[in-house]
Structure 1
Amino acid sequence: MVSGVVSALNEAGKVVASDAMTQASARSTADHSKFEVLQKPFASGPEVTKACLSCHTEASKQLHQTKHWTWEMLHPDTGQVLGKKTIINSFCGSITSNYARCTSCHIGYGWKDANFDFSSEENVDCLVCHDTTGTYKKFPTDAGHPAYVDKPFPPKSTDPKKVWKAPDLSEVAQHVGSATRKTCGVCHFYGGGGDGVKHGDLDSSMTDPKRSLDVHMGTDGLNFACTACHNAEGHDIKGSRYTTTAKDTHGIDVIGRDDGSRASCESCHGSTPHPRTVNNKINDHTDKVACQTCH
C-alpha cells in the first residue's frame, strides 16, 4: 500500500518539476500601465492597494489567511502558537520591543503597535512582492510604509547616500509582475538585521547567482525564482520554517495539505529520485538520509 502511494507521488513530482522549469518564462497577459485606475498620483501605499483591489477583489482576503500576514501559526502536533508575532528569537528579539522597525518586513502597512487592524484589506502591501522597477522600498522605521518624501536614515545623517528616495507609487503600480528572487530577498535575505545574518544560506548573492552557487536558481542554469518551489495557491506560500522536518510524518505535503505541494526536495524529485538501475540501493536510503547529505 505504501509503495503505491509513493509511486503516485513520484509521478506527480515529475509533473511539478517540469512545471517549475517553465515558470520563469511565463508572461502576464495584462499590461498594468494601461489601467486607468493606476494612472494617477498616489499619496500612500494603502491608496495603491485600494486601486489594486478594484480588480483583484479577493487578494487581501487570501493574504489575511497566510503566515506572511498573521506572523503566527499553530503547531500541528503540540498546539503551540508559533511565529514572529509571538516568539522571542536570538536574532530579532521580540517585535513588541520595536514594532515599527520589525514590521518593515511585514507584508502590510501600519503595524506600529498591538492595535494594528489585521482585518483591513487596504493595509495589505501589494507592491513589496510585485514591484518590478526596483525602486520600491519600505522605510526601515515606518511600520511597513515606504518613504513618502525623501528622507535620511539614520534620521540625522547628512550623507547623501543615506537618503531614502520616495518611490513614484503610480509608476510602481503600473509595472507590477510576479514575485522574483529580489522581491523575496528584500525581507528574507536581510532578516535579523543584515545581509545573510539570520539564514546562512540566504543572502543577496542569491539575487543573481551562478549555477555553481545554486543549482536551481543559477542564472546560467534553471534560473528558478523562489516561487518555483515555494509556489503559492491563493497567495499562500508553500513551506514553513516553524515546523521540524527532520522526521517528516506528513509525507511530502505542506502541513495540513494533501495536494503534493510540500516545499521539499521530494515534492519535485519524488521519493525515488535516482534512476532505477545501479542506483536502486541509493533509493532505499531516501527515507533516512537527507538529500543534502550527498548533494
Structure 2
Amino acid sequence: MLPSSILGRKAPALFRTLGQQPIRAFSCAAGDASASNRRLLIFGAPGSGKGTLAGWLGRDLNAPTQADVEPCTASAPGLTALSSGDLLRAEMRAGTPLGQSVEALINSGGLVPDDDMVKLIAGQLAAMDGSNWLLDGFPRTLGQAMALDEVLTSLTPSRQAPIDYVIHIDVPSEVIVERIAGRLIHPGSGRIYNRTFSPPKVPGVDDLTGEPLVSRVDDDPESVRRRLELYAQTSQPILDYYMDRGIVGRFTGPTSDAIYTTLLPQIQEILAPTVVLPSAEDLTCAATAHQVSA
C-alpha cells in the first residue's frame, strides 16, 4: 500500500509513472489542511524593519480564497501576516474588556500580561487553522513561546512540530540607531515611516489617512541603545529555544529592500505546496478530470 503523503522530491516522478501531473493540493477530497499549513514567526529588534518585511510578505504572498481554487487543481501557496500590535489596537478600538484593560496598561507604561496575550493570539490562530500564517510581535518571552506551542499542539495534535520556521532579522545596532533617529509613527495604526529611508508621500502626514505623524520622545540614540540591549537579553532565550530545533533562518542586510531579496524566495520555497500522494478517492477525481480535459 502506498503511503498517504510524500514530502520529498521523488513524488513528481512517481506521478509521471501514473500518467498524471503532480497533484499538490486537492479541493475535491476531504483532508486535514491544518496538518500541512505553514506556521512562521518573525523576530527582529526595534527598528530592524521586521514589521515592514512581514507586511511585504503578506502583500506579495497573499493567500487565494477557496473560490479562486478550481476542483482537482493545485492551490497556490499564500501567507497571512499577523501583527500582535495590530490585534491589540483592534481590541482597543472595539472597546472590548481586553482592549480596555490593554489600553489602561499601555497608557501607564505597563506590559500586557502573558495570559491575556496568549488568549488573544490563540483565538486568532484558531480561526485561521488550515491557513499559512506569519506572526509578528509574539512571542516576546520564553514563557509565551512555550504557551504558544501548547496552543498550537492542542489545535493540531497530529503535527510533528507546532512552528515550522522562524525568521530572524539581524541588523547591526548602529544601523538601527540611525534608522530610529528619523522614525515617524502613525499612532492610530502603528505604521512606521523614516525621514530618510521610507518617507511619507507628504512630509509629516500618514499616506492612508492624512493624519499627522509623530516621533517617540525616547528615540534619541542613547535610549535606543538601551532598548536594543533589553531586546537582546529577552529575545536570545526565545531564539535559542527555536534554534535548538534547527528552524531559525537569519537574514541581514543594510536595508529592508536588501534583506527582502533573499527573504522572499526563501519563504516562497517554504510555502511551496506539499506534494501529496493521493488516496484512491483522490486518484479517481484526478483521473476523471484528466479524461475530461483529453
| TM range, smaller chain | under 0.3
Name the structure where helix makes up a greater proportion of residues. 2
Name the structure where strand makes up a greater proportion of residues. 2
The TM-score with structure 2 as length reference comes to 0.22
Give the number of the structure whose alpha-carbon radius of gyration is greater. Answer: 2
The TM-score with structure 1 as length reference comes to 0.22
